[in-house]
Amino acid sequence: MVLNDNPVNSKKIVVRTDGPYIVYGGVPLVSKIQVVSEYGEPLTWKKDGEIPADEPYYLCRCGQSGCKPFCDRTHRNIGFDGTEKAPTDTDAERRETYPGSSHIVIRMDMDLCTSSGFCANRMTGIGEMAAQSDDTQVRALAIAMIEHCPSGALTYALKEGEEDIEPDLPEQIAVTTEITTEGAIQGPLWVTGGITIFRSDGQPFERRNRVTLCNCGHSQLKPLCDGSHREYVTKV
């Protein structure tokens, strides 16, 4: 495994073949829970405490550990297949721009989408809002929705050709809890702050401000979350 371009004492996450995530560099580990409206619409995230962790620490990837979020080597007993199928090209190569937007450029990368629900409410959705973005109130709401998208599938810039505007997020990993009609369920690991993630072959994924990692073991885009955890509801 070649990691010479990223010293051991720097913040990084390494995917172990058919095993856990190994986290180096003292990355803070916290718990976050969705805040939803009275209609069940995701609105924002609330920090729900800090989780003490060793250096380095090992996070469960198979979803079956008895001491989540940490790995207890259960993956060895269940024959976990952690084959990584996440795209290795760049977000800029994959994303598409919503048509009709004014004063803002809204883009979506479907390969990163986890269907976390921040891009819509009972009245409207981000696509419709993009077409109405000449209204400053609509535009402000759209920006808030985009910035709460945990995977970063949604991004925005003020003008075509300008850099995306990203929320200022801390270097940390959040163990998330989602609020659904099934109750509170385990969500993905939410990595923020541009921490580099290395595949098991030692090559880095594109460095991004927001990334959601699978910790249920069922994603078809490992190590990224694809929303599969909602089909295998783990109540918390």
91 has a pLDDT exceeding 80:
yes
Q: How many domains, the chain? A: 1
For the cut 50, the answer to whether the pLDDT of residue 1 exceeds it is no
Is 98 domain-assigned?
Answer: yes
Q: In what order do the strands lie in the sheet with 172-180?
A: 42-50, 29-36, 172-180, 183-192, 210-213
Q: Is residue 187 part of a domain?
A: no
Mean of all residue pLDDT scores within the chain? 91
Give per-residue pLDDT as tens, 176-212.
999 988 789 999 999 999 999 999 999 999 999 999 9
Q: Is 156 helix (H, G, I), strand (E, B) or coil?
A: strand
Q: Evaluate whether residue 97 is within a structural domain.
A: yes
* Inside any domain, residue 220: no
Residue 230 forms part of a structural domain? no
pLDDT of residue 182: 77
| Cβ–Cβ < 8 Å for 191, 204 | no
148 domain-assigned: yes
Q: Give the dihedral sign, CA 60/61/66/72.
A: negative
Binning pLDDT at 50, 70 and 90, where does residue 232 land?
Answer: confident
Whether the per-residue pLDDT at 3 is higher than 50: the answer is no
When pLDDT is cut at 50, 70 and 90, the band that residue 235 belongs to is low
| Model confidence pLDDT, tens digit, residues 23-71 | 999 999 999 999 999 999 999 999 999 999 999 999 999 999 999 999 9
Residue 4 has pLDDT above 60, yes or no: no
Residue 60's closest CA among 18, 26, 28? Answer: 18
Q: Please check the confidence at residue 5 and state whether its pLDDT lies above 60.
A: no
Residue 134 lies in a domain: yes
**What pLDDT score does 6 carry?**
47
Model pLDDT, residue 218: 96
- Structural domain including 104 reads 91-157
pLDDT at 79 over 50: yes
- Sequence-ordered list of residues with C-beta below 8 angstroms from that of 186, at least 6 positions apart, any chain: 68, 176, 177, 178, 215, 216, 229, 234, 235, 236
- Give me 199's structure tokens: 């595949």
Indicate if the pLDDT at residue 20 is higher than 90.
yes
Cα(first)–Cα(last) distance of the chain, in Å? Answer: 36
The C-alpha angle 56, 49, 118, rounded to 5 degrees, equals 100
